[in-house]
C-alpha cells in the first residue's frame, strides 16, 4: 500500500519501526534485549539493530550493563510540559479538596483515555484511615464505577448502562478490596456528555455501613457541578 494523503494513508517505514519499538518498550515493565524487541514487533533483528540503539541515544530508552533496553522517563517529562488534562485537573482540585474536607472521605477524578480508565487526580480523606488511589494508574472501565458512569454518559451512550444514566450515579462494592464501597457521578459538559467522572470510596465493615450513599451523594453531585461550572475546554 503506497502513500495516499487524500485518504490519510501514509507509509514511513523507518518511523513505523521506531514507533513500534517505542510503544512496545514503554508498555512493558521490564528490560528487553534487541532480539526480544524485534521479535515482539514482528520484525527481524537487522531491521531494528539501528533503530533501537538510536532511541537509546536520544534518551527514550536506557541501556543497562547487560545490553538490555528499558523505558526512560523522557516521554513522561515531555508530556508534563503540557499535560492534556492540565486545565481539567487544575479546575477540579479545589472542589475535590472541599469534598474531602467536608465529608472526610477520599475522592478521585477519572477520564476515559484510549479505552482505559485513567486516574487524573486524587484528594485523600481526612479521617484516621485514608482510602486513596494512584494518580496515573489505568483500569478496565467496566470494572469501575467511574468507568461505567463515563460509558453511560458518553457521546454514544451504551444502552446497557441506561439505569446509571437515569439515576445519575453508580454505586457498588469495590472489585479490588473487600469492605470498600465506591460511588461515582459524571462531570458533565453543556451538552450532557461526560467530561470526566468523580468517585468517592469508603469503608463498610461487616458490622454495618459507616457512610451511606444517601449521605454522600448530594455532596458528590455538588462537587461535580462545581467542576463543570469552572471547566472551560481548550
Q: Rounded mean pLDDT of the chain? A: 84
Check residue 4 and report its DSSP letter. B
Check residue 114 and report its DSSP letter. T
Task: Walk me through the domains of the chain, giving residue ranges and CATH numbers.
Answer: 5-79 (1.10.10.10), 86-230 (3.30.450.40)
pLDDT tens digits for range 144-199: 999 999 999 986 556 778 899 999 999 988 766 677 889 999 999 888 889 999 99
What confidence score (pLDDT) does residue 75 get? 77
Q: Looking at residues 28-34, what average pLDDT do you find? A: 82
Q: CB–CB of 72/98 below 8 Å?
A: no
- Cell numbers for 152: 453511560
Nearest residue to 220 via CA among 150, 155, 168: 168
Range from 21-35, 102-116, 143-157, 169-183 that averages highest in pLDDT: 102-116
Amino acid at each position: 500500500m503506497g502513500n495516499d494523503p487524500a485518504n490519510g494513508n501514509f507509509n514511513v517505514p523507518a518511523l513505523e519501526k521506531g514507533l513500534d519499538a517505542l510503544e512496545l518498550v514503554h508498555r512493558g515493565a521490564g528490560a528487553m534485549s534487541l532480539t526480544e524487541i524485534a521479535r515482539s514487533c514482528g520484525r527481524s533483528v537487522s531491521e531494528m539493530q539501528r533503530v533501537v540503539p538510536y532511541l537509546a541515544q536520544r534518551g527514550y530508552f536506557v541501556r543497562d550493563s547487560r545490553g538490555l533496553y528499558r523505558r526512560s522517563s523522557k516521554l513522561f517529562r515531555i508530556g508534563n510540559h503540557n499535560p492534556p488534562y492540565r486545565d481539567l485537573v487544575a479546575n477540579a482540585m479545589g472542589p475535590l479538596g472541599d469534598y474531602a474536607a467536608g465529608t472526610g472521605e477520599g475522592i478521585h477524578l477519572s477520564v476515559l483515555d484510549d479505552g482505559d480508565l485513567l486516574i487524573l487526580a486524587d484528594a485523600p480523606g481526612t479521617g484516621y484511615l485514608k482510602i486513596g488511589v494512584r494518580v496515573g494508574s489505568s483500569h478496565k472501565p467496566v470494572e469501575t464505577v467511574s468507568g461505567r458512569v463515563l460509558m453511560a454518559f458518553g457521546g454514544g451512550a451504551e444502552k446497557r448502562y441506561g439505569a446509571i444514566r437515569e439515576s445519575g450515579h453508580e454505586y457498588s462494592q469495590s472489585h479490588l478490596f473487600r469492605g470498600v464501597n465506591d460511588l461515582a457521578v459524571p462531570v458533565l459538559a453543556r451538552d450532557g456528555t461526560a467530561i470526566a467522572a468523580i468517585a468517592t470510596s469508603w469503608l463498610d465493615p461487616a458490622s454495618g455501613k459507616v457512610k451511606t450513599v444517601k449521605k454522600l451523594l448530594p455532596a458528590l453531585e455538588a462537587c461535580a457541578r462545581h467542576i463543570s461550572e469552572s471547566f472551560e475546554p481548550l
